[in-house]
Structure 1
Amino acid sequence: MEAEIKSLIEQQGKAFMDFKSRTDTEIKELGAALDEIAKKQNRPPAAGGSFHATHESKAALGRYVRTGDLPDTERKAWTEASDSAGVLVPEQIASAVMAVAKKYSPMREVCKVIQIQTTASKFTQPIIVDGSPSGWVGEVDDRPNTAAPSIEGITFPDAECYCNIPLSTWVDEDSQAADLVIQEIGKSFGRSEGSAFITGDGSKKPIGFLHGTPSADDDDTRAFGTLQYLLSGSATGLTSDALISLVYSLKPEYRMNGVWVMNASTIAAVRKLKNTSGDYIWSDSIAPGQPAMLLGYRVLEAANMPDIEAGALPIAFGDFASGYTILDRSMAMLRDPYSVKQYVQIYARKRVSGNVTDSCAIKLLKVGTA
């Protein structure tokens, strides 16, 4: 019996040591993973990505705002602007500003966003319109050449958004100054973009997806670059049947990523629509942080969409990641402590543009005129 007890104690001791060894290993692996995450947070984001500015980058911004000076250790991230006075801000600060701007520029949530470095005054993106035809062959059959695809060029107008943010000369903490600048520039840029990505005319600003004259023609007959509209089904308002038709006017490859875009007053009207069974077609969010759904698709509120009125285009539906592209370039800042003595003004500018890149991916609902 004594031998059995001793053996049992030894087995328990060995099991405990094995457990401790495994636990120590897992703790080390977890620590390494956390270290890797921390390192990644100090790296520039991939195109279209964003994250919060690091403490060091915000401190540098705050010192620049307060004193106009950048220590030598930070100048590697902050470079002189090549085409005007001021400094080009590092990607971490630019991303933090645009994270704020996204709250006021909702199209950034659903459209494709590309960061480019070219200094050309205009950027042209080639688009394959109809693809290259394919064919079927046997294992050893000849493969004849296929016809070349049709290519169109989408031009993004050169556009620059700017703002002038006044700060009190009594701002005395780096973090406070940085937060104020990030918040105020983000709000200013976001409000300007929020309008331009929807209704911009391309004259020193992006081309909005509502700019131009849409057509009632379908995808096979409509001119390239022109969006299609469907009538609302009522001379004065909207109908649930028209919304259903709008969904299925999109090809299935676009429909699977479909998003509704409308303003608050239109949302209020749509929430009251019912189907033939008397049920509301709107579905409220079933979980915190989740968007409301209309006919099974997400609804994005955009304040700059038109109201419901005769001849207006109050609703858009489509795959905006395929249909509309936003081009972001570098952001620059200039500190001006002289123009207004009681303030330090931060003049910020950012070159940004946008245009429709696939006119089959977005559809519009038009209110009747009679």
Structure 2
Amino acid sequence: MAKKISDFVPELGVELSSYKGSELIDRIGEEVVKNVVSSVLCGENVRSLTESLTRRRLMLSNAAMLVTFLKASNQIESLVGKSAKMIAEELATKRLSKEKKLYLTWLAGLTEKSIQNVLRGNEQEELKQYLEELGKLLKESAQKADSSFGNLSGTLKLGKEENSISWESIMFLFTAIGAQTLAIRGSEKSMYGKLFEKFILGSVLSILGFQRIDPKESTKSDKVFWMSQRENKRESDATLLLKAGIGVRFDIGFIGPGNSEISLDKVSRFEREMEYGRQTHYMTTVIIVDRIGQNSRIKELASAINGEIVQMSMSYWVKEVAQILKDKINFTHAITKMTNEESLNFVREQMKKVNLQDFL
């Protein structure tokens, strides 16, 4: 039976190519995730904290791509020249797993998003035409590199197998690794953003003594909150009720100083009232962002619609949230009377009691 490129994708590559955010805790451990959340609650940057997780996945994924390329090259004669036809045929196979199809699209220099933008869908004829053009570009680029830099030759050895390399083959590999890196970075940014927004917001409200409920199953209204409320045009990442008739909507996003208009959009989309159970609750709004530019007027604009913006880059922002709740809805908590350092120690200790699985 003829060998297919997808036959050579290693198991580790399959595992790392795609996974859901709900699997994150199982994959890297709850203690690691809790440490990241705890650090963000004390003012550290979530992006820098998750970067090491992304880099680890990328390094191992790139290694798996290299192994795929070397093993396929060893078993399939003139792999680069045949790749266009083989990738098109394999992607058309319905029995192929999603993960292996991802690998094939990366080998073609594509991500799932670029399939939509470049090919305007994954129709067979468009893909075939793209792959034929890619083959021509590889040949032309290899010739240009050869004339500009000199002949590239040698072998790469994996285990006992040796593989000859050339400009064309190495450019084919670089194209695949580039697409793979772009796709994984994009998915990680989205996944970590959505996931840690839930973890961070849920943890803050739990630490402040509010109980998470499911609003579809509970009508409890004293010191409760729920996640991701969608109702007509009103939208929030979390909704908190101190008691019947009084509550706060929260929205969170890792928005930097260069995206102030997004913060404004978040502020302006909330209404002042919300229906829950049989009662109308009068709401204020708290927007939590990474940081705000030095000369930004967003805080004043938010205040004009009875909203507040909190920056996670400030070390004592959890204490600030508690103070806002005290000022806005007369919520009382011991953290508001603690020193700044005491508040950080309190947050770290309380994080040990938080169950992050509740927020998935």
Structure label with greater radius of gyration: 1
- TM-score using structure 2 length: 0.21
Larger relative contact order (CA 8 Å, sep ≥ 6)? 1
- TM-score using structure 1 length: 0.21
